[in-house]
Amino acid sequence: MNGVVRKSKRENRTQRVRKVLSDLARELGPDAKLSTTRELRKSLNVSQATLDSALKGLELQGLIRRRRGSGLYVSPHVRTRRIALVFAQGIFGGRANVWDQLLFKALRPVARGRNCLVTYYFFDADHDDAEHGPQQLAVDLQQGRVEAMIVSGMMEGHMRQLQALAAPCVFFTSDQACKPRVDSNAGVAIAEGVHLLARRGCRRIAMAYPDFELTGDQRSHVRLVPLFRQAMQDEGLAVQDDLLIPFHSDFSPSRPLEASTRFYESWNTWQVRPDGLFSTDDQYTSGIVQAAKLLKVRIPQDLVIASHANHGLNLFGDADVMRIELDPATIAQVLLDAVDELLAENQPVTEVRLVQPQVVLSPSQQQAVNSGVRKMN
């Protein structure tokens, strides 16, 4: 038992020394020369064995290197942060989640601009034993090759595995139990969408939204229907419950097909059809647009649509859909801000950071909003 305690204390001491030297290396910058091992041992007040162990770990991380006969130097490729970007499933191939692809593309240049190195990992069954699977992530965290995690779109079953890693972590999620987390401001997006529709004369407004209960997800996600009810009340409009269109909350590529089928069926069964629709997901909207074409529903003459959208991505074709946009590059900046704060060990940590959406209208849409009509000729 005493041997285990001594080993634990020695490991903790080595970790502390490694952190001090890691911070020093980053402060000095690429190719800077470090003090001699004798000077380091004296200034840190540690044994040679502890110092050697810490230096070996930093060499494995790629933070320092030895030059024979010259001494210790900071690596020319030193990075301020080494961050794991963790997804629920693969982001390459036809079944990849579109948002995860956008976030990955946005994070890389933003991270480079902030002197960070981002490595990706996947928590799906296909990557359990692969180079970018959960086992490799655990090894990289343990060996110091990764300092913190950014987690996006993680399924409920994987959360316990991530929590067991006991590593600094920032989540991009609407699950209110995850902290610190970054999320889009759903309340603002819904309020903006309903306001635009009301300005264009819509009075019977439907909403397409993810219903987490449909997939058995018991996490405490932000509930969108109460936000919609409040937005409608603010515009002096009544919510008709049969115009609420829930969809499955999973991020599968089948979302547009589900949305198309559900909207087609709903349109044919509604006794009083909506004249406006707000969609919280651009993939739902793309399916609804396709169903509208089959139904010969004209957008916006028969149905005005406002929808969440991602900056730089058009899933609506030539349909006249008003966009409430999120910019993946802005999300990336906010996520990295949260990581910096977490690793700086500042207290208290900002638990929730909400990213504000932006209304993006074409000139004709803006004119229609200002004039209170569905479509300008």
Residues 6+ apart with CB under 8 A from 32: 25, 73, 74
Find tokens 């049969």 and name the residue: 242
User: Do 214 and 363 lie in a common domain?
Assistant: yes
3-state secondary structure of 121: strand
CATH number for the domain harbouring residue 129: 3.40.50.2300
For the segment 112-165, what is each residue's pLDDT rounded down to a tens digit?
Answer: 877 788 888 887 666 556 678 888 888 888 887 888 999 987 766 677 778 788
pLDDT of residue 80: 62
Nearest CA among 62, 52, 40, 61 for reference residue 10: 52
What is the domain count for the chain? 3
Point out the domain boundary residue: 44, 74, 104: 74
pLDDT of residue 1: 38
Is 145 within the bounds of a domain? yes
Give yes or no for a cis peptide into 76 (omega within 30° of 0).
Answer: no
Q: How many helices (H) and strands (E) does the chain have?
A: 12, 14
Is 179 within the bounds of a domain? no
120 forms beta bridges with 85
Token digits of residue 201: 């004369």
Token digits of residue 99: 């948002």
Point out the domain boundary residue: 74, 96, 123: 74
Token digits of residue 263: 């909207």
Q: In whole angstroms, give the CA distance from residue 306 to residue 195.
A: 10
Give yes or no for a cis peptide into 348 (omega within 30° of 0).
Answer: yes
User: Do 19 and 46 lie in a common domain?
Assistant: yes
104 forms beta bridges with none
Q: Which residues of the chain have pLDDT under 70?
A: 1-11, 78-80, 93-96, 124-130, 155-157, 213-221, 249-252, 346, 374-377
User: Do 254 and 197 lie in a common domain?
Assistant: yes
User: Do 205 and 285 lie in a common domain?
Assistant: yes
For the segment 31-69, what is each residue's pLDDT rounded down to a tens digit?
Answer: 889 999 999 999 999 999 999 988 988 887 778 888 888
Q: In whole angstroms, give the CA distance from residue 35 to residue 205.
A: 69
Question: Which run of H or of E encompasses 232?
Answer: helix 224-234
pLDDT of residue 118: 87
82 forms beta bridges with 117
Residue 48's CB is within 10 A of a number of other CB atoms, namely: 11
Give yes or no for a cis peptide into 30 (omega within 30° of 0).
Answer: no
pTM: predicted TM-score of the whole model, two decimal places: 0.77
Domain extent, residue 11, equals: 2-74
User: Do 189 and 311 lie in a common domain?
Assistant: yes
- Helix ranges (H only) for 114-218 are 134-142, 156-164, 186-199
Q: In whole angstroms, give the CA distance from residue 301 to residue 213.
A: 34
Q: In whole angstroms, give the CA distance from residue 101 to residue 318.
A: 23
User: Do 239 and 109 lie in a common domain?
Assistant: no
Angle, helices 2-28/48-61, rounded to nearest 10 degrees: 60
Q: In whole angstroms, give the CA distance from residue 311 to residue 330.
A: 10
User: Do 314 and 189 lie in a common domain?
Assistant: yes
